[in-house]
Amino acid sequence: MSYTWVDYYKNRGTKPRSELREALPYITTGTNALDLGCGAFVESRYMLEKGFSVVAVDPEISLSLYLDDITNDNFTFECVPVQNFDFPKNEFDFVCANYSLPFVTKRKHRFIFDSIYESLRPGGIFAFQLFGKYDQRNVWWRNSLCFHSEDEIMELISKFELVDFDEAQHFTKLAGGKQNFSHVYRVIVKK
Ligand SMILES: C[S@@+](CC[C@H](N)C(=O)[O-])C[C@H]1O[C@@H](n2cnc3c(N)ncnc32)[C@H](O)[C@@H]1O
């Protein structure tokens, strides 16, 4: 039996990611947020609690199960892949893509980064993670995930101002319980 997103959402827990908590203090322009590849709305809920308006995007149909108790009027969910999302221009103060861009076809990344840039207000923040080439998932799941070099990431963010760039390599347990050598770039940039 293969591990599905439904299993992942169940195992993910309810604690917002440190990557989100680290990015929030850099946001100074307003409270409009876009959560790309939002999963089970853990980070979206946290941002709503902090007073943000949130647009959440993810193509996974099973996520409707997690929507019932989100009654905040400042929340919208669009069940589409990020490459099909109609990015509004000059709209967001914060865009996050927490561990979702590695699941998007690499050839769409240029278009997605340009669209994010256009959708941010001047001074807006974008926080994301991408997997590096040495990540063990590059052996197991090389056809369904994408992996980047530092140079490739620098090229993708060339229009932005770099705020924080962290490269980490260590053993971790994945949400499915599998031991993995992880190679992850954690990046925060500003328009
Ligand atoms: C590892 S999960 C991360 C979910 C959440 N951001 C978190 O940190 O827990 C990756 C998410 O990316 C979503 N995803 C996969 N392909 C996508 C795409 N083309 N556009 C947007 N999201 C996508 C999956 O449905 C899944 O919810």
pLDDT of 124-158, one tens digit each? Answer: 999 999 999 999 988 888 778 999 999 999 999 99
What is the position in ligand 1's atom list of the atom closest to the CA of 97?
A: 6
Phi, psi of 160 (to 5 degrees): -90, 165
- Owning domain of residue 135: 5-190
pLDDT for the residue 140 = 81
Is the pLDDT confidence value at 67 over 70? yes
CATH of the domain at 58: 3.40.50.150
Share of the chain above pLDDT 90, in %: 86
pLDDT for the residue 131 = 96
Q: How many domains is the chain built from?
A: 1
- Report which protein residue has its CA nearest ligand 1's atom 26: 39
Residue 128 backbone zone (phi > 0: left; psi -120 to 50: alpha; other: beta): beta
- Could you give the angle at the alpha carbon of 134 between the alpha carbons of 129 and 140, nearest 5°? 90
Asked whether 37 and 99 are in contact (CB, 8 A), the reply is yes
pTM: 0.97
